[in-house]
């Protein structure tokens, strides 16, 4: 739905003279409908009733500051452009605001009203879908009851939303790739919840978490007496998920012999429980996930190619959080509000240096790590403001790894890189070796030679 009425602009400015100057100047465009507010609260009160197309805010207001007001506006209007106008040039604040998603940051001087005029024209040129984005029924914002909300507004996550919608409308298998904590299970659940299988079970299995000797019976079930300890019949996860969705996480960890069995089950759409002979018909949608590149696993001979093509279906790649910085503060505020609500606390605001610290961080644990950091910060803070010291990061900001030549040998650089990865990935040697495309034994040898130690 596209709006054809006036272009509504909210000006939040407590200085009456400057506010009127801006209002008068912008009113020279007859398309604009202007509303001025002297406090952040007054602006917020009007947002729901009369949503604006654009908001300009003065950084210093009697009841709040630009960063806090912007955060509260974003919660209500995730896409509306906001321009901050400040008395002073403060580079750190400006960078933090821009990274948090503010459209522009102007310092008050003689040119401001013209800069603003041009900025609004540019925004309007590139904003044909504003009302469609905000007013179209958002399948992920107001989904089925109990459906987890996927928060994000970056282009990358919007692509993921579109793919979830496409997957949900059909029965296609889906393969999700992404680093740990990027939301692979959340996406799998969303596909299930938006599909017409939503009244049937969603069953999630992590292949890496089941002891090798139990995997087959866990997946396919067993009959009484099938092996020592099989004292009664057990229904496997495939059967549990019948008519619904089965999510197989860490699929790359699946044993080659089990890969063959899985392929057979998928081809024949039926299974036989371990130790049994009865054929059980299957109607499931399979969603698989891996933090490894499955195609690379195929190339290395660790994953069956024919199974790979069966499972691939619709591939969805979830980008790491550091590659979608627009989502960081949206998620941070969401987790903060959730945590504070659960614990009956008033949510503190993020101070600009804390925002900057979050935006500079590499998030090896992605969204899961962000949530833990924010919850810890809520507890650590003074209850009003979350400062940078309340954010206790466990690894370095991405920019701290220096591989600039400073006289070290190639081997020393290599050790530095491996050390930083071990720290980032919690000493998971297998994962680090896979990430850096080197053998595990290279790392183990370095540890043996005391060139490297686990931290």
Ligand X SMILES: Nc1ncnc2c1ncn2[C@@H]1O[C@H](COP(=O)(O)OP(=O)(O)OP(=O)(O)O)[C@@H](O)[C@H]1O
Site string for ligand X, 391-420 (x = CB under 6 A): ------------------------------
Complex with ligand X: residue 130 or 288, whichever CB lies closer: 288
Token pair 């803070």 in the structure block, residue: 381
Is 368 among the residues that bind ligand X (CB under 6 A)?
A: yes
* Half-sphere exposure at residue 328, Cβ-oriented, CA atoms within 13 angstroms: 28
Beta bridge partners of 204: 247
- Choose which of 66, 101, 183, 362 interacts with ligand X (CB under 6 A): 183
Residue 202 backbone phi and psi in degrees, to 5: -110, 120
Which part of the chain contacts ligand X (CB under 6 A), choosing from 81-89, 93-101, 363-371, 402-410?
Answer: 363-371
Helices (H), 285-343: 294-299, 305-312, 326-342
- Choose which of 186, 317, 340, 376 interacts with ligand X (CB under 6 A): 186
Element (H, E) at 290: strand 285-290
- Choose which of 291, 292, 333, 424 interacts with ligand X (CB under 6 A): 291
Whether residue 350 contacts residue 387, with contact meaning beta carbons closer than 8 Å, is answered with no
Can you tell me the distance from the alpha carbon of 284 to that of 205, in angstroms, rounded to the nearest whole number? 14
Complex with ligand X: residue 131 or 375, whichever CB lies closer: 375
Q: Shortest CA distance to 376 belongs to which of 366, 386, 367, 384?
A: 386
What's the min distance (Å) between Cβ of 152 and ligand X? 5
Whether residue 93 contacts residue 85, with contact meaning beta carbons closer than 8 Å, is answered with no
Q: Shortest CA distance to 174 belongs to which of 310, 337, 34?
A: 310
- Choose which of 151, 241, 391, 414 interacts with ligand X (CB under 6 A): 151
Is 152 among the residues that bind ligand X (CB under 6 A)?
A: yes
Complex with ligand X: residue 115 or 376, whichever CB lies closer: 376
Is 86 among the residues that bind ligand X (CB under 6 A)?
A: no
Complex with ligand X: residue 78 or 148, whichever CB lies closer: 148
Is 184 among the residues that bind ligand X (CB under 6 A)?
A: yes
What's the min distance (Å) between Cβ of 429 and ligand X? 17
Look up residue 190 and give its two tokens. Answer: 């969303």
What's the min distance (Å) between Cβ of 207 and ligand X? 11
CA angle 77, 27, 120 (to 5 degrees): 45
| Secondary structure class of 405 (helix, strand, coil) | coil
Can you tell me the distance from the alpha carbon of 76 to that of 51, in angstroms, rounded to the nearest whole number? 10
Site string for ligand X, 297-336 (x = CB under 6 A): ----------------------------------x-----
Is 13 among the residues that bind ligand X (CB under 6 A)?
A: no
What's the min distance (Å) between Cβ of 368 and ligand X? 4
Complex with ligand X: residue 160 or 274, whichever CB lies closer: 160
Complex with ligand X: residue 204 or 345, whichever CB lies closer: 204
- Closest residue to ligand X, judged by C-beta, is 183
Complex with ligand X: residue 12 or 287, whichever CB lies closer: 287
Q: Shortest CA distance to 316 belongs to which of 195, 157, 206, 208?
A: 157
């Amino acid at each position: 739905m596209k709006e054809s009425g006036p272009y509504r602009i909210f000006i939040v400015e407590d200085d009456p003279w400057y506010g009127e100057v801006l209002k008068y100047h912008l009113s020279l465009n007859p398309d604009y409908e202007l509303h001025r507010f002297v406090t952040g609260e007054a602006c917020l009160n009007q947002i729901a009733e009369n949503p604006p197309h654009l908001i300009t805010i003065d950084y210093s207001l009697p009841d709040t500051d630009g960063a806090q007001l912007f955060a509260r506006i974003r919660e209500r209007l995730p896409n509306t452009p906001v321009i901050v106008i400040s008395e002073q040039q403060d580079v750190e604040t400006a960078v933090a605001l821009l990274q948090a998603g503010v459209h522009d940051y102007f310092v008050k001087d003689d040119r401001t009203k013209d800069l603003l005029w041009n900025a609004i024209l540019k925004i309007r040129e590139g904003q044909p879908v504003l009302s469609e984005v905000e007013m179209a029924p958002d399948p992920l914002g107001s989904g089925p009851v109990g459906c987890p909300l996927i928060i994000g507004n970056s282009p990358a996550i919007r692509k993921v939303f579109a793919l979830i919608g496409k997957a949900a409308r059909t029965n296609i298998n889906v393969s999700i790739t992404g680093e740990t904590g990027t939301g692979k299970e959340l996406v799998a659940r969303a596909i299930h919840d938006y599909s017409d299988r939503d009244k049937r079970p969603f069953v999630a299995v992590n292949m890496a978490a089941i002891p090798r000797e139990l995997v087959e019976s866990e997946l396919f079930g067993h009959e009484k007496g099938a092996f020592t300890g099989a004292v009664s019949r057990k229904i496997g996860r495939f059967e549990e998920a019948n008519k619904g969705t089965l999510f197989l996480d860490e699929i790359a960890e699946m044993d080659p012999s089990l890969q063959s069995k899985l392929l057979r089950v998928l081809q024949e759409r039926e299974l036989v429980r371990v130790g049994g002979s009865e054929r059980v018909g299957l109607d499931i949608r399979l969603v698989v996930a891996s933090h490894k590149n499955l195609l690379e696993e195929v190339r290395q001979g660790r994953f069956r190619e024919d199974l790979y093509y069966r499972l691939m279906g619709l591939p969805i790649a979830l980008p790491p959080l550091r590659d979608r910085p627009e989502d960081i503060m949206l998620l941070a505020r969401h987790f903060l509000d959730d945590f504070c609500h659960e614990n009956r606390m008033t949510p503190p605001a993020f101070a600009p240096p804390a925002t900057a610290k979050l935006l500079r961080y590499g998030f090896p644990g992605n969204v899961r790590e962000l949530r833990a950091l924010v919850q810890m910060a809520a507890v650590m803070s003074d209850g009003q403001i979350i400062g940078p010291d309340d954010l206790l990061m466990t690894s370095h900001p991405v920019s701290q790894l220096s591989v600039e030549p400073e006289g070290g040998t190639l081997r020393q650089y290599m050790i530095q890189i491996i050390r930083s990865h071990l720290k980032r990935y919690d000493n998971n040697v297998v994962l680090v070796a896979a990430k850096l495309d080197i053998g595990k034994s290279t790392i183990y040898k370095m540890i043996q030679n005391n060139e490297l130690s686990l931290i």
